[in-house]
Structure 1
């Protein structure tokens, strides 16, 4: 399809060929995974960071592209405060302290991290494209793209600009969350992005006395997503006070629940058909 014939929704799909806005695969980059939910407040950015940590623990080189331009939280969660800098190879993103996870986020470009980013859609789209095309992501096995909530400009730009290998959806037990998440999944199918699986966050609280899992937000509805979209559930993460503290302190790399981290990473690797090496 010529560039003149490419429209907003067909751009980036397999039916669209050769237009300047189409999805692009970067040289020397392995797999690219988008993490989204459709709904805010489900801990999507935390899961993005935990997936990056889980993959890094398995020896992969990992980067996180924070596509939540107006509500970026990845630098805070990962404890990354250094600014990116220019080089002949492109923009060099700073990295986390333990596993050297590269992070690119608009908050790293602000002199005050609390300053609001009040931009319209076209500018947001342009910044996301720059984060993908101008940043030196070379020799990175996995890039995790942390999407903002919703199905508007930013997620659409990501799906059109970046050749995604898969989409991981994050939900919570509430029925309302499941309804909104389905919108994101339907958008993903519309844009012909492969679906990797689902993660339920805030699934339960573990009783400190008896160890029983207490469903504080009611019964899980993730099985409905699994059945409707033929998606494997790759993890159920609890409401964890330790994880909350680690995120507040920028120490997500120190999360110790190896069982959950391994299950998440292994599930993603299986869905991508990746073995020991990318």
Structure 2
């Protein structure tokens, strides 16, 4: 993975909060900003990147030499997922070490091009896969995805604490399903509560990067293999994703500048 400048993990404490949808749209937004971008689907048990990007179920990576393979390309992104190596209906009935081993193969045997950003779509939770990523990959930072719901926020806090324990900076928080707007009458309703993402942002001094509505078009777009940035590149949700991408870039630049500004202290015996 020496060809990759920045590796960004997109994580959540629990499933069903729109983490993978955020990952794919954030990657496409970064590509729309002019960067070279890839996605690693680290969810071994429930890979979804192939479907979200419209990759045919029979697609297989191109082999390189005896042990390596090239990532699949879709909508201008380089993508690697366990879904490209197994039958579409085959479940991964594996214990944790087996899943971690499969992930390490994806990490070490994929020949990425020169990329500015690689987004890692993490599985929910704080288990084996998360530890493997944090120990085997030089992650530049993490983006936490949550909904305003109290239960989702509870698990999101655990995700943030996990990254703190392994010294990976949290670049910011994305709040999904902030508000539902009726497609028939336009009535706005905060189904999952309000202010949760902002509260989490203040508690952990991590910026609230963006808030996305609970909207049928976002779900239909990823289900159809053409995420929001592809289906409606000039729409309001696409602009939120692009703003989020720019803030991720700024956060990484700030962190890189802070590291470079640290003084070198040497002690000499006279």
Which TM-score applies when normalising by structure 2?
A: 0.87
Q: Give runs of aligned pairs for residues 173-252 of structure 1, distance below 5 A.
A: 173-208=148-183, 211=186, 213-252=188-227
Q: Distance in 1 between matches of 2:48 and 2:184?
A: 33
Aligned to 2:69: 91
Q: Distance in 2 between matches of 1:35 and 1:255?
A: 22
CA contact (8 A) 1:29 1:142 kept: yes
Q: Summarize the Cα distance change of 1:255–1:68 in structure 2 as closer, same or farther, 3 Å threshold.
A: farther
The Cα offsets for residues 11-62 of structure 1, whole Å up to 9 and x where unpaired, read as xxxxxxxxxxxxxxx3221110000001111010000001111001111111
Q: Distance in 2 between matches of 1:241 and 1:136?
A: 36
Aligned to 1:123: 98
Aligned to 1:139: 114
SS of 1:95's equivalent in the other structure is strand
CA contact (8 A) 1:243 1:255 kept: no
Q: What RMSD in Å do the two structures reach over aligned CA positions?
A: 1.6
Q: Distance in 2 between matches of 1:83 and 1:271?
A: 35
Q: Distance in 2 between matches of 1:220 and 1:157?
A: 33
Which stretch shifts more, 101-110 or 166-175?
101-110
Does structure 1 residue 104 correspond to structure 2 residue 84? no
Which ranges in structure 1 are unaligned for 5 or more consecutive residues? 1-25
41, 60, 84: which one pairs with 1:66?
A: 41
CA contact (8 A) 1:27 1:138 kept: no
Measured after TM superposition, the shift of residue 114 of structure 1 is 2.1
The Cα offsets for residues 47-106 of structure 1, whole Å up to 9 and x where unpaired, read as 00011110011111111100000011111111123211211493101111x3x2111111
CA contact (8 A) 2:26 2:242 kept: no
Aligned to 1:267: 247
How many residue pairs match? The answer is: 246
SS of 1:169's equivalent in the other structure is strand
CA contact (8 A) 1:234 1:264 kept: yes
Which ranges in structure 2 are unaligned for 5 or more consecutive residues? 255-270
Which stretch shifts more, 68-77 or 260-269?
260-269
Q: Summarize the Cα distance change of 1:212–1:266 in structure 2 as closer, same or farther, 3 Å threshold.
A: farther
CA contact (8 A) 1:35 1:147 kept: yes
| Bigger proportion of residues as helix | 2
Q: Distance in 2 between matches of 1:173 and 1:208?
A: 21
Q: Distance in 2 between matches of 1:266 and 1:105?
A: 26
Q: Distance in 2 between matches of 1:34 and 1:69?
A: 15
CA contact (8 A) 1:83 1:93 kept: no
CA contact (8 A) 2:142 2:172 kept: yes
